[in-house]
Amino acid sequence: MFLGIPFSRLGLLIFTRLWLNAGVRLAYPFLPTIARGLGISIEQAGLFVAARSFVGLFGIAFGFLSEKKGEKAGLLLGLAFFSLSGLCIGFHLNRTWVFIGFILMGLAHAVYNPAVQAYVSGRTPYRIRARALGLLESSWSAGWFVGIPVGGLLISRYGWNVPYMLLGFIGVILFLATLRVPSTPKKFPDLSETCARREKPHDGFFKTDGHRGKCALTSTTPAGSPGRRPRPWLALGVTFFALLANESLMIVYGAWMESRFSIGTGSLGILSTFIGFMELAAELSVVLMVDRLGKKRALGFGLAGAALCYAALPAAQTSVALSVAVFGAVAYFFEFTVVSAFPYVSELNPNARGRWLSANYSFMVAGRVVGALIGPRLWEHTHTLRAHMALSLLATAVAAVFLAMAPNPDRSRKRPDHGRMP
């Protein structure tokens, strides 16, 4: 056992996420090559990527699948989409099939990511859940470090479509391996589930108060407000505005670096690699810190750090070294915030965990889409980062307000957490 789940099983899930993430991240550095291979403009190829992101908004619809059929069904469906995606793009019979492949890639992430988070969360005690989910999310940066070099080598030797073809076959193998993953865990006695069976939930959010031995709302009510009804949906506002704040800035950082310092593509690639290392550092920080800090407090820490970085953007204009440091810090605190949100959201309603994690994923995508729409327009009108800094600070402040009003599952977990074990 490792963090309440067999190490081999957690390793399989991390390995699977690595290749799914590689499939998504592969398009960004090689988009011009893909466009040339298809005989289309880079703007048209960008629409393929935009469509892939857009279908992630429908991820919430698949959250009910995990609740009705179990998380394993979501894992398998996500891998089926992933395999078909890689094969559609890899064999690229025509542009339509490639477009369908990008859509399927978006659906694969919208289904698999919340399902695997729910699977790990349901088998890991809450008191150590951030460690397990932090390790799982390290596959995001690993997808860059592994997928991009391998993809670049295959593209240079065999063609732009070959990496996707390989991902399709890898997806088939991972699908077969996941078939062996047990779907129903052994459960230890959990009063919250007893309550859920005995009582009709109010608004779908109930927890167990272990001290009083009776059912209560998922989040403990604030001190001095015993009758106040919790509003878990506020946590989704945190996700949306945190993603909007970051995406609206990071989508133009390359253009700003080129404009300000005349940096070429090679140097931007080095900066991107540095940002990947900062993302990995953030994911490992979640593993080491968040369970000790508390999930909601860690979210606040991430938002505060991101706000300080956005406020430091004017200093980034003075030198390349400072700009690299500031954007690296932005990447660190943003990734720390996002990954800290997963164990937090996983406990908003344990009886509907798949639904809430799917909703969180959809709100992440929505924030990213809105930021991607606003950021370039601001850049075209100003060609400075002042407006982006103001927007990022405002959105982060709104996220902090949502977080302050959102429930705090940490308060109800002071007692020993039996959790659900495999």
Among the listed residues 315, 228, 335, the one whose alpha carbon sits nearest the alpha carbon of residue 275: 335
Report the distance separating Cα 55 and Cα 156, nearest Å. Answer: 30
Among the listed residues 139, 108, 78, 116, the one whose alpha carbon sits nearest the alpha carbon of residue 353: 116
Q: What is the CATH number of the domain that holds 15?
A: 1.20.1250.20
Residue 39 lies in a domain: yes
Among the listed residues 54, 137, 42, the one whose alpha carbon sits nearest the alpha carbon of residue 102: 54
* Maximum CA extent, the chain: 67
Report the distance separating Cα 113 and Cα 97, nearest Å. Answer: 24
Q: Are residues 39 and 171 in the same domain?
A: yes
Number of structural domains (the chain) is 2
Q: Are residues 123 and 15 in the same domain?
A: yes
Q: Are residues 174 and 273 in the same domain?
A: no
Q: Which are the contacts of 382, defined by CB distance < 8 A and separation ≥ 6?
A: none
Q: Are residues 11 and 114 in the same domain?
A: yes
Q: Which are the contacts of 87, defined by CB distance < 8 A and separation ≥ 6?
A: 101, 165, 168, 169
Residue 319 lies in a domain: yes
Give the residues of the chain that fall short of pLDDT 50: 186-227, 415-422
Output the pLDDT for position 299: 96
pTM across the whole model: 0.83
Q: Of 156, 178, 200, at which residue does a domain stop? A: 178
Report the distance separating Cα 276 and Cα 149, nearest Å. Answer: 13
Contact 353, 346 (CB under 8 A): yes
Report the distance separating Cα 124 and Cα 47, nearest Å. Answer: 39
* DSSP-derived 3-state class of residue 314: helix
Q: Of 131, 154, 178, at which residue does a domain stop? A: 178
Q: Are residues 20 and 165 in the same domain?
A: yes
Q: Are residues 138 and 281 in the same domain?
A: no
Residue 207 lies in a domain: no
**Which backbone phi and psi does 407 adopt, to 5 degrees?**
-65, 165
Rounded alpha-carbon distances, angstroms, from residue 289 to 138, 273, 284, 302: 15, 24, 9, 12
Report the distance separating Cα 226 and Cα 209, nearest Å. Answer: 13
Q: Are residues 118 and 11 in the same domain?
A: yes
Residue 252 lies in a domain: yes
- Radius of gyration over alpha carbons of the chain, in Å? 21
Residue 228 lies in a domain: no
Q: Of 178, 197, 219, at which residue does a domain stop? A: 178
Q: Are residues 274 and 381 in the same domain?
A: yes
Residue 287 lies in a domain: yes
Report the distance separating Cα 319 and Cα 335, nearest Å. Answer: 24
The dihedral through the CA atoms of 35, 38, 40, 44 has a sign that is negative
Q: Are residues 260 and 339 in the same domain?
A: yes
Q: What single-letter DSSP state applies at residue 124?
A: S
β-sheet bridge partners, residue 206: 217
Contact 71, 183 (CB under 8 A): yes
Q: In a 10 Å sphere around its CB, with 0-12 CB exposed, 13-18 middle and 19+ buried, how is residue 94 labelled?
A: exposed
Residue-number span of the structural domain to which 262 is assigned: 234-410
Distance of CA 106 to the CA centre of its chain: 13
Output the pLDDT for position 265: 61
Output the pLDDT for position 229: 60
Contact 422, 9 (CB under 8 A): yes
Q: How many CB atoms neighbour CB 311 within 10 A?
A: 14
Among the listed residues 201, 247, 250, 197, the one whose alpha carbon sits nearest the alpha carbon of residue 349: 201
Distance of CA 224 to the CA centre of its chain: 35
**Which backbone phi and psi does 324 adopt, to 5 degrees?**
-65, -45
Residue 295 lies in a domain: yes
Q: Are residues 164 and 243 in the same domain?
A: no
Q: Are residues 98 and 247 in the same domain?
A: no
Residue 195 lies in a domain: no
Q: Are residues 242 and 367 in the same domain?
A: yes
Q: Which are the contacts of 28, defined by CB distance < 8 A and separation ≥ 6?
A: 49
